[in-house]
Amino acid sequence: MTIDRRIFSLGLVGLTLAGCSGEGDGAAVSSGLPNDLRPARNSGYDNWVATFRERAARQGFSQELLSNSFRGTGYLPGVIKRDRNQVEFKKSLEDYLSIAVSDERVLKGRAAFSRHQSSLKAIEDAYGVSAYIVTAIWGLESFYGERRGDVPVISATSTLAYDGRRGDFFEKQLIAALKILKYGDTTSANLKGSWAGAMGHTQFIPTSYLSFAVDFTGDGRRDIWSSDPSDALASTAAYLSKNGWKKGLRWGDEVVNGSPSGTIIQPQADGPRFSTTANFRVIKSYNNSDAYAIGVGHLADRIAGAAGLRTSFPPDEYGMTKNDRIALQKSLTKSGFDTGGSDGVIGPKTIQAISDYQRSRGLAVTGKPTLSMIDT
């Protein structure tokens, strides 16, 4: 059985992968919501909610539950803005891995694994899924619980059901969210997640929660929102197990020499090749992207102590290597043009810094990097 638990394909960059490239993650951080993710007056939305509540009541939801669930919720204009502004970023695998398997993410992953080793070992024993793979998914989805999201799920899913591109899909997510409240796994105040309704440490959407979430701690609730990640991590293991994970089988490996087995893929021309197994395809059921599955597998290996990839990536379209791009970012920042960091990924902040530099020098403003900009 293969069930894609994601709301939409994340392509080559997951919503939680916020690097120095300046691309935000999908979950609002705990410091508070921006104004556009707070309820705004919208009469059309109010009318839609009224008719939805009638439909929900016919499906067996009590008026008390519906009133409690929708209390304090509302139309979130920022959800629609984010939904409609989604762009299929054509990131290279090198750029993706620079963020997904950054030194910071590896070090935080090793620390998180150490803190929760006993729970992760018990989860691996129960479901047969590698504890390192589960930890890596946790790292990619919410940065080990740091970016779980603060957006009320009822508001997010009802806004998208009313005004989004996939109304029927999000109405199903809204119904599933109401069932979560009906079953008592959490409260409406605690039912929070990303702007698109993905929840908890490993970002389950409501329908996947109903199908796969487990009460691993035995407290009577499938609490994927808790500061204790045990239920969330076990739910991810349960998801992978039910989607065909084979115990003891690796996800794959980088092809360096010899005669590799399995399915060979090379997502970036002239870059590393990978031999992949059936478990690689199981990871893709969580997010249907080769880059994501490689990111999970490679991050898992790095958390376990393995070294980085041995095959170099080719220069980019501008003739620059990753080291060149890092040098450029450092040079621009030193000159007063903030790139937001130096990860070698040419994202929005770096493009803006390049544009500002070009403008200040009377050059044509293209936002495109060149080797001549380094140390200027």
User: What domain range is 349 assigned to?
Assistant: 322-373
- Distance (Å, whole) CA 82 – CA 91: 19
Q: Residue 8: is its pLDDT beyond 60?
A: no
Provide the pLDDT for residue 33.
Answer: 92
Give domain status of residue 351, yes or no: yes
Mean pLDDT of 241-262: 93
The model's confidence at residue 27, banded by pLDDT at 50, 70 and 90, is very low
**What residues have CB less than 8 Å from 29, skipping those under 6 apart?**
146, 147, 150
The answer to whether residue 17 scores a pLDDT higher than 90 is no
Whole-prediction pTM: 0.89
pLDDT digits 0-9 by tens, 39-74: 999 999 999 999 999 999 999 999 999 999 999 999
Contact assessment for residue 369 and residue 354, using Cβ atoms and an 8 Å cutoff:
yes
Tokens of 217: 């701690």
Residue 356 is assigned to a structural domain of this protein:
yes
b/e sequence 229-240, b meaning 16+ C-beta within 10 Å: bbbbbbbbbbbb
Q: What pLDDT, on a 0 to 100 scale, did the predictor assign at position 86?
A: 67
Residue 343 lies in a domain: yes
- What one-letter code names the amino acid at 286? Y
- In this structure, what token pair is assigned to residue 82? 């984010």
Sole residue written with tokens 């501008």: 318
What number is the average pLDDT over the span 359-367? 96
pLDDT band of residue 291 (cuts 50, 70, 90) is very high
When pLDDT is cut at 50, 70 and 90, the band that residue 5 belongs to is very low
Token pair for 14: 């997951």
Would residue 329 count as lying in a domain? yes
Strand partners, 275: 253, 264
Catalogue the long-range contacts made by 189-193 (C-beta closer than 8 Å, 24 or more residues apart): 190/225, 191/152, 191/153, 191/154, 191/225, 192/148, 192/149, 192/150, 192/151, 192/152, 192/153, 192/225, 193/27, 193/148, 193/149, 193/151, 193/153, 193/156
Q: Does any domain span residue 45? A: no
Average the pLDDT over 327-336 and give the result: 96
Which carries the bigger pLDDT value, residue 169 or residue 7?
Answer: 169
| 323 pLDDT more than 70 | yes
- Residue 6 — very low, low, confident or very high, per pLDDT cuts 50/70/90? very low
What is the spatial distance between Cα 282 and Cα 288, in angstroms, rounded to a whole number? 9
| Rounded CA separation 341/50 (Å) | 47
Counting Cβ atoms within 10 Å, is residue 248 exposed (0-12), middle (13-18) or buried (19+)? exposed
Q: What is the pLDDT of residues 116-139, one digit of tens each?
A: 999 999 999 999 999 999 999 999
Give the tens place of pLDDT for each residue, 160-218: 999 978 999 999 999 999 999 999 999 999 999 999 999 999 999 999 999 999 999 99
Q: Is residue 344 part of a domain?
A: yes
Can you give the pLDDT at residue 90?
Answer: 66
* Interatomic CA distance for residues 340 and 184, integer angstroms: 42
CA torsion sign, 3 to 124 to 294 to 229? positive
Structure tokens at 271: 């870059």
Q: For residue 359, tell me if it sits in a domain.
A: yes
Q: Is the pLDDT at 370 greater than 60, yes or no? A: yes
Q: Find all residues with CB under 8 Å of 140, minimum gap 6, and list them.
A: 14, 16, 17, 100, 292, 295, 296, 299
Domains in the chain: how many in total?
A: 1
Please indicate whether residue 236 or residue 5 has the higher confidence score (pLDDT): 236
Handedness of CA 97, 99, 104, 105 (dihedral sign): negative
Rounded mean pLDDT of 220-244? 98
Cα 337 to Cα 89: distance, rounded to the nearest angstrom: 23
Cα(338)–Cα(350) distance, rounded to whole angstroms?
7
Residue 366 lies in a domain: yes
Q: What is the mean pLDDT of residues 351-361?
A: 97
